[in-house]
Chains A and B, each alone.
Chain A
């Protein structure tokens, strides 16, 4: 069972990466290109020599981006199948496709939206190279804290089901999550390294593109994996294996 789910999770991750690439190509890459031309214009105005290209722009926006999205998709697809397996039957008695959609929504908010709101993604030319260590540390710390907050909220929700019922316990869990995240937001330092003359439009569109790419990835995980998991559980998709008797 777990083996089938993990394989499907990783395959769905690849499918998610393919869709994410389409979104990245049409929404993200134009903004990256604008940000890079801003960076180059600034460097030229300051009289700096252009840096040698280790990897050409063409490779970066095709193979490089495809590789990054595919690796990210397979990794999250695998992890998603584990999260699904742990959640299924334990967050209410939903059908597999409902559990899958709920886990994807929770994952998207916890792993991406919460860090996005505090430390939004930045295009090239935004961000001081000297602070990359601090910024990366803060970003990953926030992801971990957000996951812990979700774990705590989920635990609280499960404890309250008997007293409040499924719906109200779920809402309380969401409330607990929001409160913990607000406290984390207040405690963690803010970062603003956007150059004064950087286009606000490019920045806004770049960030929306990033949001769209991640939303596409998580939506594909949630919906496509749900359909496949449904078949794993009902046995209709397992034509190659003999159906286990009595289950």
Chain B
């Protein structure tokens, strides 16, 4: 590929190799799903921590983000 000093000719649509993405993807997916679980479902349908404090704390967010709350 020729190196041209025109901004629009820069290789902006280069693909990032899947092998480079996978480790980040696995880690982000695991962490992200845990976070979403705590906002969306903990102490509702299933409970890891006993009580209702987590549920009550994120209560409004859970309703407004569209998750079933109670």
Contact B62 A2 (CB under 8 A): no
A247 CB contacts on chain B under 8 angstroms? 11
Q: In the complex, what distance in Å separates the CA atom of A133 from the CA atom of B38? A: 15
Q: In the complex, what distance in Å separates the CA atom of A235 from the CA atom of B38? A: 37
Task: Using known A-B contacts A32-B64, A90-B15, A133-B45, determine if residue A71 contacts B38 with beta carbons closer than 8 Å.
Answer: yes
Contact B16 A210 (CB under 8 A): no
B7 CB contacts on chain A under 8 angstroms? 234
Task: Using known A-B contacts A55-B53, A82-B25, determine if residue A129 contacts B70 with beta carbons closer than 8 Å.
Answer: yes
B67 CB contacts on chain A under 8 angstroms? 121, 136, 139
A interface SS class: helix
Task: Using known A-B contacts A82-B24, A85-B16, determine if residue A214 contacts B61 with beta carbons closer than 8 Å.
Answer: no
Cβ 8 A contact of A89, one of B15, B35, B39, B69: B15
Q: In the complex, what distance in Å separates the CA atom of A116 from the CA atom of B68? A: 11
A210 CB contacts on chain B under 8 angstroms? 63-66
B35 CB contacts on chain A under 8 angstroms? 71-72, 74-75
Contact A95 B12 (CB under 8 A): yes
Chain B 1-21 near chain A by CB (<8 Å), digits 1 or 0: 001000100111111101011
Contact B58 A95 (CB under 8 A): no
Q: In the complex, what distance in Å separates the CA atom of A221 from the CA atom of B59? A: 24
Q: Is A60 an interface residue (CB 8 A)?
A: yes
Q: In the complex, what distance in Å separates the CA atom of A166 from the CA atom of B9? A: 22
Q: In the complex, what distance in Å separates the CA atom of A214 from the CA atom of B67? A: 12
Contact A230 B64 (CB under 8 A): no
Q: How far is the CB of A213 from chain B (nearest CB, A)?
A: 5
Contact A60 B57 (CB under 8 A): yes
Number of A-B pairs, beta carbon distance below 8 Å: 171
Q: How far is the CB of B61 from chain A (nearest CB, A)?
A: 2
Q: Is A115 an interface residue (CB 8 A)?
A: yes
Cβ 8 A contact of B28, one of A6, A60, A121, A209: A6
Q: Is A94 an interface residue (CB 8 A)?
A: yes
Q: Is A61 an interface residue (CB 8 A)?
A: yes
Task: Using known A-B contacts A116-B66, A121-B67, A127-B69, determine if residue A89 contacts B13 with beta carbons closer than 8 Å.
Answer: yes
Contact A121 B32 (CB under 8 A): no
Closest to B12 in A: A233
Q: Is B36 an interface residue (CB 8 A)?
A: yes
Q: Is A246 an interface residue (CB 8 A)?
A: yes
B52 CB contacts on chain A under 8 angstroms? 54
Q: In the complex, what distance in Å separates the CA atom of A159 from the CA atom of B10? A: 28
Contact B69 A246 (CB under 8 A): no
Contact B68 A119 (CB under 8 A): yes
Q: Taking A67-B61, A112-B66, A206-B63 as given, write out 11 further A-B residue pairs in contact, using a Cβ cutoff of 8 Å, ordered by the A residue number.
A: A2-B20, A24-B60, A32-B63, A54-B52, A61-B60, A75-B39, A86-B21, A127-B68, A127-B70, A136-B40, A213-B65
Top 5 A-B residue pairs of the complex, sorted by shortest distance between their CB atoms? A68-B61, A136-B45, A89-B15, A121-B66, A55-B56
